[in-house]
Amino acid sequence: MRVFRVALLVVAASLFLAACGTSKVVREGGTPGAGASTPRPGQTVTVKRGDTVYRLAVNNGISPLDLATWNNIAPPYTIYPGQKLRLYPSGRSGASSSRTASTPSRTTPAQRPSTPPAAAPDPAPPPARSSVAWRWPAEGQLVNRFAAGDPTRQGIGIAGSSGQAVVAAGDGVVVYSGSGLVGYGELIIVKHDDEWLSAYGHNRSRLVNEGERVRAGQQIAEMGRTGAARDMLHFEIRHNGRPVDPMAHLPRR
């Protein structure tokens, strides 16, 4: 077991260097392993600081792979404090993924149905409505944009100058203030309500502590280049743990 954990830490280190993410959370190395899972329909677990996908899965009798899949957690399997994870498959009552084998019936060529045309892909869902009165967290040029499904582009980049004010994008409570996640530098995460979070990375310095309540427009950090090649702010908005395009929620400039 000790050798297995050491191997996980080695893989985790490489994942930290490869990705740009959102919050101070421990990432479990590699792909979560498979195993027998016992879904718990209707039940959820709230992530606490220091939790990992692996630890939460094992503690709840679920394979890490299933827990990640049920909650749409893509590699490198980042989770954050305050996030709620389902302990059962989405849209299902906890049924296992096993399939019951059956003997196909024989049909003559004339009886075989024609292959139906492929269904058109579903359109992208509209942005979720938010009760947060979002505002821009910093002034500056937009240099990076959000790309769905890309773990290195889960937010936007706003270029500026060293020491420039970084402000809270909405009212909330600071749930993380630190530099423990490699690649994000000095990072702050603000929880706005049970569904919405915002993250602010690459700061030169942090001006707020965990547990502190902040107001929209309040300065929470100074812009910098910790974990970045230039002075900039990496900004994310997350809904129920999933990154969403900040441009769909921020007011037009």
Structural domain including 200 reads 141-248
Domain CATH code at residue 42 = 3.10.350.10
pLDDT at 141: 95
Per-10-residue mean pLDDT of the chain, 253 residues long, equals: 42 37 38 62 87 85 83 76 86 42 43 49 64 96 91 91 97 91 87 94 96 97 95 94 92 89
pLDDT at 75: 63
CB neighbours of residue 91 within 10 Å: 5
Task: Flag whether 133 is in a domain.
Answer: no
Q: Are residues 243 and 146 in the same domain?
A: yes
pTM: 0.59
Q: Which of 48, 66, 86 is the last residue of a domain?
A: 86
pLDDT at 55: 83
pLDDT at 68: 83
Domain CATH code at residue 149 = 2.70.70.10
- How is residue 109 annotated by DSSP? G
pLDDT at 145: 95
Task: Flag whether 196 is in a domain.
Answer: yes
| Residue 132 neighbours by CB under 8 Å, 6+ apart | 169, 170, 171, 172, 192, 193, 196, 249
pLDDT at 152: 79
Q: Are residues 63 and 150 in the same domain?
A: no
Q: Are residues 78 and 161 in the same domain?
A: no
Task: Flag whether 93 is in a domain.
Answer: no
Cβ atoms of residues 220 and 188 within 8 Å: yes
Q: Are residues 79 and 156 in the same domain?
A: no
CA end-to-end distance (rounded Å), the chain: 53
Rounded CA separation 10/72 (Å): 24
- Rounded to the nearest 5 degrees, what angle is found at the Cα of 151, between the Cα atoms of 29 and 158? 130
Task: Flag whether 111 is in a domain.
Answer: no
Burial state string for 213-233 with b = 16 or more CB within 10 A and e = fewer than 16: ebebeeebbbbbebbbeebbb
